[in-house]
Amino acid sequence: MAHVSVEERRPQLVSAAIALMKREGAHAASTRAVAAELGVAQATVHYVFGSKEEMYRAVIMKLTDDLVAYVQAVDVPEFPDFEQCLAVLVNRLWQSLLDDPYAHLLLTELSVLALRSPTLKALVEDHRMVVDHVTGSLIRTTAGRAGVELLNDPILVAQFFLAGFDGMTQQHLAAPHPEAERWRVESLISATTVLAIGTPLQRSVPSVREADPLT
């Protein structure tokens, strides 16, 4: 069998780990299971990563990079309306959840696990910082395209938006409800617009019966 370098094997193992964890959960990603997923010896996983924690680190970085690249790929339109511009970005991010919910679930699982690990906790903090700054940059760009001035720090606005989006992600994963979710997304866009440029927007609110699939 031809020798495969670490540089070539590492992304293969990361992809195998992600596929396994999406299917069975983060807890299932033992080095033995990841090796079996790719069809290599367990020793290969240990050689490439050194530890299970380092493998988790590589997976978190890959998921983060993919999500950031997905959102950054959108072309911010030059609408004369901040809310319309922002809606394009938010809908792109929401679509990433609809397209691959298990990627978002896995990132959530790994983030919680990492908070219990002193070495991985710093990685989670770095992950949040990267996402905050990328989102803040997009908000700044959106304001520029719309020709308006931001009233608050775009990073703070981004953190507010991301906190709301994280909550909506959990709601979708636990109990998806398309009609209620559309209202939540539009309301989050409105609230973020108010914080960003101070323009209040009116949204019709669905009744509790419409929003709650259990009623």
Quick check: 170 pLDDT over 70? yes
Q: Are 186 and 201 in contact (CB under 8 A)?
A: no
Buried b (16+ CB within 10 A) or exposed e, 176-193: ebeebbebbbbebbbbbb
pLDDT > 70 fraction of the chain, expressed in percent and rounded: 89
pLDDT attached to residue 207 = 45
How does the average pLDDT of the chain come out, rounded?
A: 85
Rounded to whole angstroms, how far apart are CA atoms 191 and 144? Answer: 19
pLDDT > 90 fraction of the chain, expressed in percent and rounded: 47
* Per-residue pLDDT reduced to its tens digit, 71-86: 778 777 776 789 988 8
pLDDT attached to residue 208 = 40
Domains and CATH numbers, the chain: 1-50 (1.10.10), 52-211 (1.10.357.10)
Q: Classify residue 152 by its DSSP letter.
A: S
Q: Are 139 and 154 in contact (CB under 8 A)?
A: yes
Residue the block writes with tokens 């700054």: 133
pLDDT confidence bin for 206, thresholds 50/70/90 = very low
pLDDT attached to residue 157 = 94
205-212 own/partner pairs: CB under 8 Å, 24+ apart = 206/179, 206/180, 210/179, 210/180, 211/177, 211/179, 211/180, 211/183, 212/177, 212/180
Tokens of 132: 């905050």
State the CB neighbour count (10 A cutoff) for residue 163: 11
